[in-house]
Structure 1
Amino acid sequence: MKINITYKLFAFVFFGITLTLYAQNKQLRAFTLEDGLPQSQVYAISQDDKGYLWLGTQGGGLACFDGNNFKVFNENHGLGSNYINALTTINNSVYIGTKRGLTIKLKSKFLNIELPEVTKISQINGDILILTKAGMYRLEDDFSTVKLTLHPEIDKIQINDLITLNDTFWLATQDGLWQFSGLINDPKAMQKIERGDFKALITYKSKIIASTFNDGTLVFESGDFDNQILIREPLRINSISVLNDNQLWIATDNNGVSVISLETNSELFTLKSSNGLTVPNVKQVLQDRQSNIWMATSGGGLYKYFQNNFKHYSTETGLNGNRVYAVHHTNNTIWISNSEAGLMRIDNYGIHNIDIPETFSEVKIKTITSDPNGNIWAGSDGRGLLFRGNIRVDSFAVDTLKRSKKLIPKTVEVARVLNTENGFPFDWIREIHVDNNAIYAATYSSGIVKFNYSPEMDSLTVYKTYATAQGIKDLYIHDMTKDDKGRIWYTTRSGHLGYLYKDTITHLGAVLGLEVPINTIVFQNNTMFLGTAGQGIWWSNDEDYSTFKKLKGLKEGASKNIYQLIFDNQGYLWVGTERGVDKLELDKDTQIKDAFFFGRNDGFLGIETCLNAVDKDDRGHLWFGALYGLTEYQPAEINQNTEKPVIYLEDVKVAFKSIDSISLSDWTNTNKVLQLHSNQKQVSFSFKTVDLDHPNGVEYRYKLNDNAWSPWSNVATQDYSELNYGAHDFVVQSRNHRWNESEPLRFSFHIESPLYKRGWFQWSIIGLALLALALITQQYIKRIKQKNIKDKERLELENHLLTLEQKALRLQMNPHFIFNVLNGIKAIAPTKPDKMNETVNSFATLLRETLINSRKDTIGLDQEIKTLRHYVEVERLMAEKPFTYDIIINSHLDVEEILIPPMLIQPFVENAIRHGILKGGREGVLKIQFDTTEEDLQVTVSDNGIGIYSSQQQKPKTDHQSMALKVTRERLTSISGKDALSISEIKNEDGSIGGTVIVFKIPLETDY
């Protein structure tokens, strides 16, 4: 396809404009009002023992910085003045020199001391000295001040600095440099060494360094002022500091900071407006414990300086815009797209602006690549493709010797746009990949197009478009790359993965099982890594890459939103996110072995990286495009102090009130124990590890007593309520972003038990209770004994009466029994004279046994059965008709062991014979049965007579009642209680009466 180009050839010949600005490894980060700084004029800076930076401003008061936030104190909080000139920290107290004198911050309180305007606060030999515009003062232990009389010439003038070396004091004043010895309050040999407005003093080894405001800096041995070295520049000096062991940092009010080597006395470099500072007036420079250097400026706020492996490019160093959407390296040149402001390139000669067609100058260029001929291809949002490269043209030249024309080749630079207006099928280009003679362009929502372009012929050939019909199920492509087998892989917005190989699409679908955008893809040693939006990094080393695992390890990256992935020459995986970049060290099992985060505080000033805007150059340097510029990473060793973190207690609250009366540093990891009252059971702790580089990377864990550690978290407070009484130990520990752990910090406290919980009180109560219980028990036992005596007497009487009653009943039964038998014998005498002798003999035996048994309370069951047998035999002899009887015993006990009252069963047997069997018409059957349980002896007497109710009806109507039955009932009632006796009739199957059964129970009694 031929593209008609209306531009003339010379319109495509470009000459890059070279910029001489260079980025620096010496990074500067500004903290301004937008970051929370109360005032841009910072005059003083100090770091306390905990690691906090304290900043004194002009008009904004005091600020405390923890690396993340500024906490501001001003006159509304009790500060003596919002205009601060000097700061120093001693024993966790902040000494503040203001226009109105001295203010001391003691924990949460401010103590104001009225003095002349303070210029500096020094601690020398244990004395706290306040230098003012009207002499020097010493702070006493009671916070009073004493004016020191030094010399008439200096007691009323401005004193700027004071140092001591080898028992000699050096004093910098606005009128000269002074030297004296002796005590600070009793100076000796006071002499002026040099005239001039001396602003700052410092010692270096055995040397004194003295800087003037406008006459340079003097360097001399302490005892040899005559052999001095004068460093003439810089001038207009505010302060000096020795940093990095042998560097003199000189802060000026008109030219930033000059860094001088104290070994050669030559200037190493400067920091000023041309390389990062926005203002020239630097008041003070301080190096913190993490080797960072901080600069307090007048008008520019606070600056953090650190030397690292990152070099940053932004609009301040020559870029047209800070947003870098695409990065590409080719032929020792870095090409970038710049905030809808065209293309730029960076090489050894600097930063160059690239002229491109006007239609492409104000568009977002999202991808850049190059072909084997070195031509540059760029894809845009809505404007198609840009080709920029060299084409060959032939022209005639005259040979001056032969005066002949020759056709010689010549190359010129051209730039052309390919879009829908001139034959290219799409305008929205996400990614470009060059493969030999073919070029593949991934669109935003229309798939992939394969084409070729000949710039010499101005000819475009579109081979094929791969879309839904060709197998791409998700056309929203985010990234493309090629593997070692020649497959061109693509990832999509919906989490799909596929590849193009030999003009065929193989679409694997949502290989992660998640509908999440896969932003970037990279290969390393036949392992595929996918970076997702919100779900971290996934990897697979399958032959067909069908299954993926999430990249995990002991540590993790700073974010799960992955925008960039690239491996450096050392094998580290670099991950670009919205927070900066992570450097991941992977082990042989593709697990994260270690993780290094680089954010704004580490020199990665671009902050949020842009999608796939990353590349590696021939030197192994990495280039990251971000929203706030371009960052180059240069692998090199940087020595930085990585000291062990230290944790401190910020506050201890008891019953929600802070304890202001103690110094927490004096109570931690000591034998001191905080004593609390019994109602003070709520205790809360606030703790802190200050990390100015990575404040958000600090984590904490804690425990109470011997309990297990809590999980690591960013929470820096812990509250306990309803604590148990007694001794407690609160232990807390921190770790920094590198997982270096602090020493555990312990705070001991004891909650006093209430009166009722104390041992002596409890034992006293127990003793009194036992005594009272003993007295009550004694009285109770006494009453019980008295009651028992009375009950015993009553029971003995009742038993005696019962015994008499039983005997009386038996006496009542015996005459009745004898009477009945005699009547029977009398009745048989006329009819059965032959049985008289046998009956009388049996009766005599029975009578003898009855008389013997009647004297006893109980007899053996065997004896009772024997007596019953004799009685039944007598009755059989006297009976008019025969009957049979049976005595049955169902018991596991021996009948000799079972005891029973005498004459208890005979009356029932007599009634069964006389009133049941003898009155019936059938042959009589008498059954006597004994059954035992664990508690009772049950006696059953049954007959087959006419029944008890028929027998009672046949009795003549008389007042006479059966004496035997009545007496026996009464005996049973006295022995077994009411309802002990049961008498019932036996019913046959045809409803007729089959006899009578008598059942009664008595308590089982044995003789063992």
Structure 2
Amino acid sequence: MQLSFGLFLKSRLLQLFVVVWTLQTVKAQDSAIKPFNKLSITDGLPQSFISGMAQDSVGFVWVGTRDGLARYDGKKFKLFMHKQGDTATLSNNIIESLFLDSRDHLWILYETGEIDILNTRTEHLFHLSKDPVLGIITGMIKPGKSIAEDKSGNFWLITTNGGVFVYNPRKISLRFFSEQKLGLSQNSITGIFPHEGSIGLVTDKALFFINDKQEIIQTLPYTFNNPHLYDSTRPWKDTYTITTKNGSILIRDLHRLILYDNQAKQFKEILPPSKYKEEDYHIAKDEQGQVIVIFPQYIYTLSNDYKLIPWRMLSRENNSSAISLFVDRSGILWLGGNGSGIQLINLRSSGLTGISYTKSYHEDLLKKYLHVPDADIRKSFLDGMYPYYFRSLKSSDGKIWISKSTRETTEKLSLLYYKDAHLVYPPWHYSESFENLPVEINALAESASGKLWGMDFFLHPVLFNTVSWEVTIYPAIIKINHQYNTTSVSSLLIDGEDNFWIGTAFDGLFYYNHTRKQLKHFTAADLPGSLPSNQLMSMLQDPDSSNILWIGSLGGGLIRFNKQTEKCQTFTINDGLPNNTIYAVLADQQGNLWCSTNKGIFSFGRKNYAVRSFSSSDGLPCDEFNRYHYFQFPDGRISFGGIEGFTVFSPDQISNDSFQPNVALTGISINNKAKDFGFGESPFSAAINSLQEIRLPYDQNFLSFEMAALQYNNTQRQQYRYMLEGFDKQWVYAGTNSNATYTNIPPGNYQLKINATNTAGTWSNHFKNLKIEIQPPFWKTNWFIITAIALLTGIIYLAVLLRIKYVRKEEQQFANFEKQATTLKEQALRAQMNPHFIFNCLNSIKSLIQEDRKKEAIIYLTTFSRLIRNQLNNAQELISLHSELETCKLYTQLEALRFGEAITCNFEVNSNIDLFSVQVPPLILQPFIENAIWHGILPNNGGCVTVTISQQSNQINCVIDDDGIGRKRSLKSKSKEMSSHESKGMQLVQNRLNLYNAVSRYGSSIDVIDKTDEEGNATGTQIILTFKQEQ
């Protein structure tokens, strides 16, 4: 008795649930469901006749058409077409049907009767019809759903002339079983399906179940009316069959659905609604096992007691007949049309519904949801009112005040309230008369004490006495031009009793203290903390903080305005908002903000700034919403109106997306060229998503990867992140960008990891990994390095031997140079100054002192001491040309003091030459000057020596020119008489220059020119010393 009562109670509860669910769905019938996405040839489909669709285990959707096969990843289609002469391509382009087996192999049946099998992971193609053993089945397989797989992995294929083929892919064997051989007697086969590991055959008069040994294990004769499912006039008839989650069987027959109840062990007919009795229909099953029945104009679900429950009406644009369909793992219904492409419908309710307009936004709200009688609406100003004029306010006493917002003058104020399902029009009267009639109210607000205020089009504060119904109009807060006013009040809030905050549609934000008549005006500016826009559409007082206003703007995003600091914080698409135009801002009972935009609606967390976006793919009637089309019900429900309809929802009943999408690699480019499998020059032997590792040479290290999260209901919300381990130190968060690009990857081993979110922004648990090896160039490989090291060692050893030999030779030469240099230095030191010259100088000083010519003696002695000091200081191997010239000048001064006017010496130096940077051997010029004086000037009883310093390119020229007797006469004089001074300066200079040239990087040279007149007589000697410098 208890058991019977328990069953009775369960039955009643189930019936009650169905009734309640039916009422809810009937209520939803007010709005027709629209596809949130449509795919056509403009999106990459090869053709618009969709002959078959299937989703593989990864999540890709495969689409068969009459012009090839396509793989869809939510962003783009990858096409597979027949190419003449290429056996790696499809056998044909006209696809009749598709079947996906348990191994992710896609069976492609063509109109020609040929069959291909595509491995959807690797994208390798097997031409079954061209196989010498299996090709016999070509043209013999029934069109439509004619393939099934048993638990052993064998495939059963219904033929067009009765019987089945059984294909064993492991043994590559094919066997044919006629209906008689299977023991079916005269029962012609019309359908096939897998059932609990066995194969179910739908025949004319019974269901037969056959195991993998081709033995009949169960027969279920039909017991329903007209039990004939085979039609000899329509052998192609598609008797599609599915198994429900409780094991019952559904057979799709023409104009009826046949059920075998697995619990009651009996057959029954499920007839479509009478209006669809002659219509074709389709059945499908989602991942949870829910059976869906699709008619051309309506979608039904099958309840647990096998009743058709209306779910949603299909919009008129969906009425094109569906040729194929399936439900993917995220709950999306894919409808493949006859020339209309693919339409996607979300079967999983988010709690949002779209309602089409019957009359207008405000009238539909009042009638359908606030249950206001038509008579009340017709009597009011709301009847036929332009919906953009609709304004409302819920007051603290439970009334909902409604006004008409225009700049029109009126004798009767358009302000009423809603209460208890009726519209009440108070007997308003003005406190005084006006020369000009007042205008309507643009915005309503309530003070802390419950006073009802309004603001009209021309910024007049208006007080409404809700007891005496008196209306008091106060002076405008600013003077404006009534004819050209563009301020247009859009919203009004009141702090306490006197502090008014006024948002305008074109002129920013006003603060106005009604008692003190204090006014502040806030406008947009390109400054931190300023308003981002002057076009403010809606305003809301923060539920927790009296200092914060939330403002929706046109193009400026969502604004958080701090009344104390008078600064703004702005939230835009950069912060996750779907759009920067915010038409309305409302708060739910938990304090979350809800906003309407041009791209759907979104919720916003006031504390954590978290954003949840919703669009037409979530059930909204459209994505573009309207200004002033918003309303909040007393029970907390929220409504927004858009261009194609409106929505009413309870924020606490909005569901979260919990789907965990797979993420896949859908393409790869190497050095900016697409290289995925199937492209002409691909280095890969299979599709990139199926590979575990790729190896690339060092010069193919610019890589770009395309990725896709395989969830199709709102792909624009999906976000991506990726990391190349060994290259990146952390995740790269790419937002909605589904491309990962790396340039100049060094040789080495890496692992690419990619991940994506679902539409709610939750990161999926599924990752895609790909190992990448960038191979080094051959000269960086181990074998090359070892060989090179060995070779280099030998070369180094030989080079060391040669170097030792060379160094020894260099050391010997250097020793010789040092010995020679030492000798030359000693000779130069001895020859630096003619001893006779020094003795003469000392005698000259002595004579000047004895003659009491102290001043001349001091000058002579000072010059002599400076010369001696220079000689001692210039002991290093190289000195500056400036120091050398100074020494020469001191020497010539002393000689001039000795010989008086008989000797003249001039120094001419180019001012552009940096004498301090030019390095020369010490006493390199003085011997030539000395030689010019003693052997050229003095024998000629006087003359002039000119020293000229010039520069040509990278060489310094030092020219010593005299007008003496010349070298020939000087040599003759020396031969006649023995000179008291034997000058060795010239020879020493030449030897020192030779040594300098031997050890220096730069060259030097001496040129001696004998000057003559026109008759050939000697007129002097010119010495040219050239020093080359580093450029």
Q: What TM-score do the two structures reach when normalised by structure 2? A: 0.63
User: Which residue in the other structure is 2:359 paired with?
Assistant: 320
Deviation larger for 373-382 or 674-683: 373-382
* 2:40 is the counterpart of 1:49: no
Give the whole-Å Cα distance in 1 for the aligned partners of 2:832 and 2:752. Answer: 89
2:614 equivalent among 591, 595, 598: 598
Q: Secondary structure at the match of 2:57?
A: coil
| Equivalent in 705, 709, 713 of residue 689 of structure 1 | 709
Q: For structure 1, which segment, 557-566 or 269-278, has the greater mean C-alpha deviation from structure 2 after superposition?
A: 269-278
- For the 8 Å contact 1:387–1:417, the answer to whether it is kept is no
1:675 maps to what in 2? 695
Q: Is the 8 A contact 2:332 2:345 kept in 1?
A: no
Aligned counterpart for 1:28 among listed residues 33, 41, 53: 33
Offset at residue 583 of structure 1 (A): 1.0
- Is the 8 Å Cα contact of residues 529 and 540 (structure 1) preserved in structure 2? yes
Q: Distance in 2 between matches of 1:757 and 1:626?
A: 65
Contact 1:273/1:280 (CA < 8 Å) preserved in 2? no
Q: Give the deviation of 1:581 after TM superposition.
A: 0.9
State whether structure 2 residue 587 is matched by structure 1 residue 567: yes
Flag the structure with larger Rg.
1
In 2, distance between residues paired with 1:903 and 1:467? Answer: 106
Distance 1:72 1:575 in 2: 41
Q: Which residue of 2 aligns with 1:127?
A: 154
* Percent identical: 14
SS in 2 for 1:207: coil
Q: Does the CA-based 8 Å contact 1:491-1:518 persist in structure 2?
A: yes
Kindly provide the amino acid, as one letter, of the partner of residue 615 in structure 2. G
Distance change >3 Å, CA 74–CA 130, structure 1 → 2: farther
The residue that corresponds to 2:624 in the other structure is 608
1:582 maps onto 2:607 in alignment: no
Is 1:366 equivalent to 2:402 in the alignment? no
Deviation at 1:523, TM superposition (A): 0.9
Task: Please name the residue that 1:739 is paired with.
Answer: 761
Say which is worse superposed, 570-579 or 281-290, in terms of deviation: 281-290
Q: Report the equivalent of 2:643.
A: 627
For residue 193 of structure 2, the aligned residue among 162, 170, 190 is: 162
Q: CA deviation at 1:567?
A: 0.4
Match of 1:218 in 2: 259
Maintained 8 Å contact 1:365/1:378: no
The code of the aligned residue for 2:200 comes to: W
Superposition deviation, residue 911 in structure 1: 6.4
Instruction: Choose the corresponding residue for 1:521, options 539, 547, 551.
Output: 539
* Partner residue of 1:658 out of 660, 666, 675: 675
2:194 partner amino acid: I
**Post-superposition CA distance 1:245-303 (Å, at most 9, x none):** 464x25265785443333xx153722365899964977777443334455667799553
Cα distance in 1 between the residues matched to 2:635 and 2:451 = 27
- What SS is found at the alignment partner of 2:646? strand
User: What secondary structure does 2:28 align onto?
Assistant: coil
Q: 1:231 to 1:710 in 2, by over 3 A?
A: same
Amino acid at match of 1:230: K
Matched residue, 1:706: 727
2:302 aligns to what? Answer: 260
* Letter of the 2:307 counterpart: E
SS in 2 for 1:965: coil
2:660 to 637, 644, 649: 644
CA shift digits 1:906-944 (9 cap, x unpaired): 867776789996999759999999875584799x99999
TM-superposed CA distance for 1:958, in Å, is: 12
Following superposition, the deviation at residue 650 of structure 1 comes to 0.8
- Per the alignment, residue 861 of structure 1 pairs with none
Alpha-carbon offset, residue 685 of structure 1: 1.7
**1:480–1:488: 8 Å Cα contact kept in structure 2?**
no
CA distance in 2, matches of 1:782, 1:426: 115
Q: CA deviation at 1:617?
A: 1.2
User: Deviation at 1:96?
Assistant: 3.9
Counterpart mapping for 1:128-147 below 5 A: 128-131=155-158, 133-134=160-161, 135-137=163-165, 141=169, 146=174
Residues in 2 aligned to 1:254 and 1:970: alpha-carbon distance in whole angstroms: 120
State the Cα deviation string for residues 471-514 of structure 1 (Å, max 9, x = none).
99975224123335144432123452125554876542125344
Shift of 1:619: 1.5
Q: Any conservation in 1 of the 2:93–2:110 contact (CA below 8 Å)?
A: yes
CA distance in 2, matches of 1:110, 1:724: 35
What is the DSSP-based 3-state SS (H/G/I as helix, E as strand, rest coil) of the residue aligned with 1:520?
Answer: strand
- Of the structure 1 ranges 528-537 and 139-148, higher mean CA displacement relative to structure 2 is found in 139-148
Change (3 A) 1:790 1:193: same
Deviations 1:446-490 (A, max 9, x none): 44474879999xx99783562642799975224123335144432
- Decide whether the 8 Å contact of 2:404 with 2:440 is kept in 1: no
Equivalent in the alignment of 2:8:
none
Aligned to 1:892: none
- Give runs of aligned pairs for residues 181-330 of structure 1, distance below 5 A: 181-183=211-213, 186-188=214-216, 193-194=221-222, 196-197=228-229, 199-204=239-244, 207-213=247-253, 216-221=257-262, 227-228=265-266, 230=268, 232-234=270-272, 240-241=283-284, 243=286, 245=288, 247=290, 249-251=291-293, 256-262=298-304, 265-267=305-307, 269-271=309-311, 273=313, 279=319, 286-293=326-333, 301-315=343-357, 319-320=358-359, 324=361, 326=362
Alignment of 1:810-825 (within 5 A): none
Letter in 2 for 1:493: A
Alignment-mate amino acid for residue 537 of structure 1: L
1:345–1:352 CA contact under 8 A, matched in 2? no
Superposition deviation, residue 550 in structure 1? 2.5
Q: Give structure 1 stretches of 5+ with no counterpart.
A: 1-19, 328-332, 336-343, 392-410, 807-856, 859-898, 979-1008
Structure 2 counterpart of 1:307, which letter?
A: S
TM normalised by structure 1 equals 0.64
CA contact (8 A) 1:293 1:306 kept: no
Which one-letter code corresponds to 2:359 in the other structure? N
1:442 aligns with 2:456: yes
> Taking structure 1 as reference, are residues 388 and 908 closer, same or farther at Cα in structure 2, changes over 3 Å only?
closer
| Structure 1 residue identity aligned to 2:534 | V
Local SS of the residue matching 1:966:
coil
Match in the other structure for 1:896: none
Quick one: structure 1 residues 943 and 309, their matched pair in 2 at CA, closer, same or farther if it must change by over 3 Å?
A: closer
Task: Give the deviation of 1:555 after TM superposition.
Answer: 5.3
Question: CA, structure 1 residues 197+740, in 2 after alignment: closer, same or farther (shift >3 Å)?
Answer: same
Q: Which residue of 1 aligns with 2:556?
A: 535
Per the TM alignment, residue 517 of structure 1 is displaced from its structure 2 partner at its CA by: 0.8
- Structure 2: runs of 5 or more not aligned: 1-24, 84-88, 130-137, 231-238, 524-529, 678-683, 878-886, 903-933, 942-972, 995-1031
Find the residue that maps to 1:760 and give its secondary structure: helix
Pair 1:151-2:179 in alignment: yes
Distance 1:254 1:122 in 2: 28
Q: 1:348 to 1:229 in 2, by over 3 A?
A: farther
**Pairwise CA distance, 1:610:** 1.5
Deviation of 1:769 (Å) = 5.5
How far is 1:53 from its partner? 3.9
| Partners of 1:293 and 1:973 in 2: CA distance | 105
Give the superposed CA RMSD: 5.8
Cα distance, 1:536 vs. partner? Answer: 1.3
Which aligned pairs between 1:857-876 and structure 2 lie closer than 5 A? none
Conservation of the 8 A alpha-carbon contact between 1:33 and 1:40: no
Say whether 1:716 aligns with 2:738.
Answer: yes
**Deviates most, 479-488 or 550-559:** 550-559
Instruction: Map 1:881-960; keep pairs closer than 5 Å.
Output: 922=851, 932-933=872-873, 935=875, 947=898
2:369 maps to which residue?
A: 346
Deviations 1:27-86 (CA, angstroms, capped at 9, x unpaired) = 8332686876978876654323343444557x6876655557777878899684656445
Residues 1:180 and 2:210 aligned together: yes
Pick one of 556, 562, 568 that aligns with 2:576: 556
| 1:599 Cα offset (Å) | 0.9
Kindly indicate whether the alpha-carbon contact (under 8 Å) linking 1:279 and 1:297 is maintained by their aligned counterparts in 2.
Answer: no
Amino acid at match of 1:367: F
Task: Work out the CA distance in 1 between the residues paired with 2:777 and 2:840.
Answer: 83
Partner of residue 777, structure 2: 754
Give the direction of change, closer, same or farther, for the CA distance of 1:504–1:104 in structure 2 (3 Å limit): farther
